[in-house]
Amino acid sequence: MPHLIHVIDVESGNLQSLTNAIKYIGDYEVEYIHNGSEFEQKNSEIEKLVFPGVGNFDHFVKQVHLRDLLTPIREYIRSGRPLMGICVGLQVFFSESEEGVSDYRGLGYMNMKLQKFASSDPIFESKGLKKAVPHIGWNSVNEINIQGKQLAADEAYYGMNTVNKYYFVHSYAAIINSEENRSLIEKAQSEGWNFAFARYGTEKFVAAMAFENFFATQFHPEKSGIAGLQVLKSFLTGKVFEQNVQSQVQKGEKAIVSSLSGVTRRIIACLDVRTNDEGDLVVTKGDQYNVRESSGEGNSVRNLGKPVELATRYYRQGADEVTFLNITSFRNSPIKDLPMLEVLKLAAKEIFVPLTVGGGIKDMTDPETGSLVPAEKVADLYFRSGADKVSIGSDAVTIAEKYYQNKGVKSGDSSIERISATFGNQAVVISVDPKRRYVSSPSDTTMQVVEITDGSKYGPNGERFCYYQVTSQGGRKVHDLGAVELCIACEDLGAGEILLNSIDHDGSNKGFNFELINQVKRAVSIPVIASSGAGNPKHFQEVFELDCNVDAALGAGLFHREEYKVNDVKEYLQEKAGMDVRLESRFDI
Ligand code: 1PR
């Protein structure tokens, strides 16, 4: 008989990943609890309760109140049975958050106000940069403090140790840099609370906390690979103290240098997916977005493998994230595009790192009923199939054009605004497809230009300036808008991350487009993923060494053609460049 695990579902984000992770760990079944009366009905059979949450604190706390969950949760904890909170499911146990605008308050087990990470952080400011907010990525838990004692490196508390990295995605946290918050933590410690702390730039924050039968993590164990599954497993099995659960390793003699922010260098594997001429969904890869073979039989779509198989392979090779882009979705309706949903569902059962899906995220009309399907509904379909983030390409361009026509006044009704309001900014990635456009002088365009300093890279007519003109529909349509302008507008509208492609470099294997990456990264505060052109591990080192401090780098062709495994890149970064990366040593718990 499988053990039953109860999960509170206030319809805030994707519970599929958590359910998949629990079932992967052992013989468990999951049952959801949606409101107070369901809680009462099931109360006697609840043995272990998980309380996950993503997105907006205010929205989440309001749901907990409106669904009459406050009292049953408090009584459950009082009964001594185990409860584990995750992400906003940790935050809800604090009294309030800067993110909160309504009168609804958290459960108040910790009488402290959650604060937003500061993008103006002294470490970054000294280099003329801003710290990316949200905090997205793999971070160490630097300090685990149990009953006044620091945990040793070979010890684990709830499966957590100070060696492994865990996946965080949040803008708000219990930041304890102020004297007031430090003394609140000390007071809680003296009352028996245990804490794990992490650092983001110079800000120290609560990464996990526990008190008697209560345990909560700010990171997502269900998205933290083997290290995260160990945390979940220790909660499910009740093994609070363990030894030697380290799953990650450090290779090479070189001293490891952390990034400015403390998060590791994130390596993302990307799969461009489309239906080929035989009607099969395949992973393909273009050269400057042309995915058809130029020689051989007919002009067929390049077929590099099956999406789930490749995605699982990259996860097991150590990818920190996997992205699926449905590259022809502007032609089809993803509402009817069930194979892509199926791909996600299957991938999410095997892959325990974040999954992003893009392609066709916009308001659309259901071809059968003729009724309007709003973009957040389309996104929700993907989230329910296992995606953690959606990536918006073509629609973001239309939205940014309107934004500038309205002189930067937000209408509130764009897909970016609506999806981020419901699922949180961290769930909205903007995929940018820009092409270099040369100009003789900055006054030839209203877009922000880059001055080309390398004479060998001047334009065909000796132009010494360029900007990056955005395209939509897979590079087919060009717009009177620059990549920087697009990203600034989307950030203002609530996007949480930028996936920055470069059509000029795509599929070229010649390395990333530094000019473009520098320009965009310096213009926004949200994380930027460098994409297009990766041909070998050194290219990743080069992009991470850029002064602009790029947040993540993505590769496609080099992995599909099996020239390199994802871990080859990460081992190179660690051994040769001394960069901090997550090196998972095993893939089963
Ligand atoms: O516009 O919201 O429907 O989304 C469509 C998505 O599909 C966009 O994110 C767009 O970037 C992507 N897309 C559309 N057409 C193509 C194409 O190749 N014909 N692929 C395409 C974009 C870019 C990267 C690629 C990197 C790394 N692919 O994701 O994987 O450039 O490649 P490399 O490492 O081999 O150089 P919407």
Helix-helix angle 338-350:16-25, to 10 degrees: 40
Query: Is 87 labelled as part of a ligand binding site?
Result: yes
**93 vs 46, 53, 174, CA distance in Å?**
20, 12, 11
**pLDDT-derived band at 422, boundaries 50, 70, 90:** confident
Q: Read off the tokens for 209.
A: 């906390």
- Cα–Cα distance between 234 and 237 in angstroms, integer? 5
Unique residue bearing structure tokens 């609070």: 240
Would you say the CB of residue 286 lies under 6 angstroms from ligand 1? yes
Global pTM reads: 0.96
- DSSP H or E stretch at residue 270: strand 266-275
In the predicted model, what is the mean pLDDT of residues 278-304?
87
Would you say the CB of residue 507 lies under 6 angstroms from ligand 1? yes
- Cα–Cα distance between 252 and 144 in angstroms, integer? 26
- Ligand 1 centre from 531 Cα, in Å? 9
Q: Dihedral angle at the C-alpha atoms of 129, 134, 137, 143, nearest 10 degrees?
A: 90
Instruction: List the one residue out of 469, 451, 448 whose CA is nearest residue 459.
Output: 451
Parallel, antiparallel or unpaired: strands 241-243 and 155-157: antiparallel
**178 vs 67, 175, 182, 183, 202, CA distance in Å?**
34, 8, 6, 9, 12
Closest ligand 1 atom to residue 557 Cα is 35
- Ligand 1 centre from 492 Cα, in Å? 23
Would you say the CB of residue 394 lies under 6 angstroms from ligand 1? yes
Residue nearest to atom 4 of ligand 1 (CA): 359
Same fold, 3-242 and 268-289+299-432+473-577: no
Q: Examine the pLDDT at 414 and tell me if it is beyond 90.
A: yes
Cβ atoms of 219 and 213 closer than 8 Å = no
**pLDDT-derived band at 491, boundaries 50, 70, 90:** very high
Residue 562: how many CB atoms within 10 A of its CB?
10
**pLDDT-derived band at 430, boundaries 50, 70, 90:** very high
Q: pLDDT tens, 58-102?
A: 889 999 999 999 999 999 999 999 999 999 999 999 999 998 778
Cβ atoms of 172 and 424 closer than 8 Å = no
Residue nearest to atom 28 of ligand 1 (CA): 272
Cβ atoms of 292 and 299 closer than 8 Å = yes
For Cα atoms 267, 269, 274, give the angle at the middle one, nearest 5 degrees: 160
Upper half-sphere CA count for residue 74 (Cβ side, 13 Å): 10
From 284, 327, 335, 500, give the residue whose CB has the most ligand 1 atoms within 8 Å, as the site to mutate.
Answer: 327
Q: pLDDT tens, 451-463?
A: 999 999 999 999 9
- Ligand 1 centre from 325 Cα, in Å? 6
- Ligand 1 centre from 477 Cα, in Å? 14
In the predicted model, what is the mean pLDDT of residues 295-323?
91
**pLDDT-derived band at 332, boundaries 50, 70, 90:** low
Residue 423, classed as helix, strand or coil, is: helix
Q: Examine the pLDDT at 334 and tell me if it is beyond 60.
A: no
Query: Is 145 labelled as part of a ligand binding site?
Result: no
Query: Is 507 labelled as part of a ligand binding site?
Result: no
pLDDT at 519: 98
In the predicted model, what is the mean pLDDT of residues 295-308?
85
In the predicted model, what is the mean pLDDT of residues 201-207?
98
- Give 290's DSSP letter: B
**pLDDT-derived band at 8, boundaries 50, 70, 90:** very high
Residues near 490 by beta carbon (within 8 Å), at least 6 away in sequence: 396, 399, 400, 416, 430, 498
**pLDDT-derived band at 365, boundaries 50, 70, 90:** confident
Q: What share of the chain is helix, strand, coil (3-state, %, to 5)?
A: 30, 30, 40
268-289+299-432+473-577 under CATH 1.10.10.10, yes or no:
no
- Give 456's DSSP letter: G
Give residue limits of the domains in the chain.
3-242, 268-289+299-432+473-577
Task: Provide, rounded to the nearest whole percent, the portion of the chain with pLDDT above 70.
Answer: 97
Upper half-sphere CA count for residue 206 (Cβ side, 13 Å): 32
Residue 19, classed as helix, strand or coil, is: helix
CATH class entry, domain 3-242? alpha beta
Question: Omega of the bond prior to 52 within 30 degrees of 0, cis?
Answer: no
pLDDT at 331: 63
Residue nearest to atom 19 of ligand 1 (CA): 289
pLDDT at 251: 84
* 140-154, 397-411, 503-517, range with the lowest pLDDT: 140-154
Instruction: List the one residue out of 96, 57, 108, 50 whose CA is nearest residue 76.
Output: 50
Q: What are phi and psi of 577, to 5 degrees?
A: -110, -5
